[in-house]
Structure 1
Amino acid sequence: MRHVLSLQDLDQQTVRSLIERAVDMADPDRRGTPLAGRVIGVYFSKASTRTRSAFSAAALRLGGDVMPYGPSDLQVTTGETWADTVRVMSGYLDALVMRTNGPLAQMREIAEASQMPVINALSEHEHPTQAIADLATLQEHFGDLKGRSILYVGEGNSSAAALAMAAAAVPGLRLTLVTPPGYGLRPEVADTVKQLSQGSELIQEHHDIDDLPCGADAVYATRWQTMGVQHASDDWLAAFNGFKVTREMMRSVGGAGTVFLHDLPAMRGQDVDDEVLDGADSLAWRQAFHKMTSAMAVLEWAVLGRPVEPR
């Protein structure tokens, strides 16, 4: 049983293989229809544009069928346990893609009761397939991740957590996260990243927006209100002063070949300026495309047990 719940559960070679396979999947001739005859359940408890569409399209393009579920479609809303629900669904489906926005521990309990792979399409503090899409985008663009440097600017949210875990699996990849005080990576996530990277100094986090590293190959921004959830403090926005990615910031930290990433949706004028998001150096739209190819790679690996060569 190959669940994809957290990148910390996967060995480094598997993470790198999924990134490489996601790049391959951009070429229709390298996909085939390995999921022919398979049924993929897609359950989302919250609104989603990219991830829900990406997994549905991924399953269909690989020859599978999709069984979609909304937040009110399952009997868990009337009191049935998730354990009982997935025991039944395991007889119908070949995998279940889930966005719960809840604790990862809850998703682990669901996976333990399941006889099919369960894939995390966003839990409260990690978005594993987003990170695979992020690094696939950079690998496709640069050809190799070794020796590259990523500057992440913004909240230490689910995308940042997954990116840090994924970066820990790639030798020679530097990641610097600059997050506002009080809005950084959760301590347990930071500890996990240290363990995964074996204490490598290539992955660092600090909170001084006036101390940005130079020589970045990519600058990454995210929406500061993850999934639109309000922060506890009414004046939270003040903590993010200076964190908006502007053309000036791009010039100061990078060079002619520096690219921009954003996991989307973007809050234009807040976390990034239009001229950066829509500029020639922006890979955000290609990054969104690779959400589908990363979903393909993960589905292929989880359902079939290994990547297969296209027929």
Structure 2
Amino acid sequence: MKIPSSSATDLEKKDLRHMVSMKDFTTEEMDNMMELMSMLKEARKDNAIPHLFKDKSVAMIFEAGSTRTRISFEVAATLLGGHGLFLSPKDIHLGSGKESIDDTARVLSRMCDIVMARTNSPDTIDALCRMSTVPVINGLDTRFHPTQMLADLFTIKEHITDGRKLSDLTLAFMGDATDVCRSLLLTCTKYGMNFKQIGPKKYQMQQEWLDMADEFCKESGASYEITDDVEKISECDVVYGDSFYWVTQLDEKKERLAAFMPDYVITEELMSKAKPGALLLHCLPANDKEEVTREALEGPQSVAFDEAENRLTAQMAILVYFTHKFSKEPTEEVKKEHETKIKDFLKNI
């Protein structure tokens, strides 16, 4: 007897989309996601979040650890009435040589409603997207960090209350051309925001990403600048910090800190040189007194912890945005029919 896959995990979803990078979305789509974030945040404030992910599950694959990504997706699923399933490398066969990524994607698609993956390789995300028949969300893959970008845009929009639009602003990223820096370059120029990377020449953005940003600037009217001149911060409405080295670069730590410190450390003094009312963002975790001082991070211009909270706001919106088209609400009659049939069967065994 061959029974087809259940309707809840329809393998032929129309209009299936994945979230690999924010550059893949129009400004209208980004605005829709942020509007959804705003409504869900208000609902959370009133302890009245509708269960728009009810009886659904998100498979959360973590090849690399994370505080904010792990907590925000798991809590978001719970608040929306669903379930977050944490999957570390030791929990599943992904990448172990025992099971291909393709087969992992096929299995997860039949059991879960959405897949989030934080991986050590872009190839993993791309393979999951190629084979998955449910939405795949990139939780960081060394190229892009779209969930962080959505939280960042929303946080800036929340705190710019003088009538300016996001497209009126200039954001400066202080430091290395990290995945976050790259994502900000592409997200800002796609949306219409001006972008600057301020850092030593050795650690500036690679040309392939600048070529992509050039195309976005032609469409949106945005601009970008890659410079080692710290004084350019005077032209910026938002200053963004990130670590000068990551866990995979510990052997370069001494060299990197020597290149970046002290000139590119975000301090209260440096923030005072930005435009009046400039915001300080940081994707966290923060290394005190390396890329940012504790005084700046906890100062009046910092919205870094609002930004961190908005990772939860973003994940709630993402779970709803990417699954709502596929949700099927059964009638009470249909639910009663299945309940009666199953209970009658159980009475006789």
Whether TM-score is above 0.5 comes out as yes
1:124 paired residue number: 142
Find out whether 1:254 has 2:269 as its counterpart.
no
- More off after superposition, 126-135 vs 73-82: 73-82
Report the AA paired with residue 113 of structure 2. D
Contact 2:286 2:292 in 1 (8 A): yes
Q: Match of 1:96, SS?
A: strand
Unpaired runs of at least 5, structure 2: 1-15, 328-349
| CA positional deviation for 1:102 | 1.1
* Whole-angstrom CA distance in 1 between matches of 2:256 and 2:18: 36
| 1:231–1:290 CA distance, 2 compared to 1 (3 A) | farther
Match of 2:121 among 102, 105, 109: 102
Residue deviations 1:116-137, cap 9 Å, x none?
1110000012111101111100
Match of 2:105 among 86, 89, 96: 86
| CA positional deviation for 1:233 | 7.9
TM-score with structure 2 length normalisation? Answer: 0.81
| 1:23–1:184 CA distance, 2 compared to 1 (3 A) | farther
| 1:228–1:248 CA distance, 2 compared to 1 (3 A) | farther
Find out whether 1:245 has 2:266 as its counterpart.
yes
| 1:194–1:106 CA distance, 2 compared to 1 (3 A) | farther
* Whole-angstrom CA distance in 1 between matches of 2:199 and 2:50: 41
TM-score with structure 1 length normalisation? Answer: 0.90
Contact 1:179 1:205 in 2 (8 A): no
Match of 2:250 among 198, 220, 230: 230
Contact 2:73 2:84 in 1 (8 A): no
Report the AA paired with residue 35 of structure 2. E
* Whole-angstrom CA distance in 2 between matches of 1:182 and 1:125: 19
Report the AA paired with residue 125 of structure 1. R
* Whole-angstrom CA distance in 1 between matches of 2:49 and 2:202: 43
Unpaired runs of at least 5, structure 1: none
| 1:199–1:11 CA distance, 2 compared to 1 (3 A) | closer
| 1:188–1:25 CA distance, 2 compared to 1 (3 A) | farther
2:33 paired residue number: 18
1:33 paired residue number: 51
2:336 paired residue number: none
State which structure, 1 or 2, has the greater radius of gyration over its C-alpha atoms.
Answer: 2
* Whole-angstrom CA distance in 2 between matches of 1:306 and 1:203: 38
- More off after superposition, 52-61 vs 195-204: 195-204
Q: Match of 1:73, SS?
A: coil
* Whole-angstrom CA distance in 1 between matches of 2:218 and 2:246: 29
1:202 paired residue number: 222
Report the AA paired with residue 100 of structure 1. T
Find out whether 1:45 has 2:63 as its counterpart.
yes
* Whole-angstrom CA distance in 2 between matches of 1:199 and 1:267: 37
1:163 paired residue number: 184
Matched pairs, number: 304
Q: RMSD across aligned C-alpha pairs, in angstroms?
A: 2.2
| 1:84–1:198 CA distance, 2 compared to 1 (3 A) | same
| CA positional deviation for 1:201 | 6.5
Residue deviations 1:83-133, cap 9 Å, x none?
011111111000110000212x43112211111111000001211110111
* Whole-angstrom CA distance in 1 between matches of 2:39 and 2:199: 33
Residue deviations 1:171-212, cap 9 Å, x none?
3x2222213212222322222222223276633132323441
Report the AA paired with residue 86 of structure 1. A
> Greater RCO between the two (CA within 8 Å, min separation 6)?
1
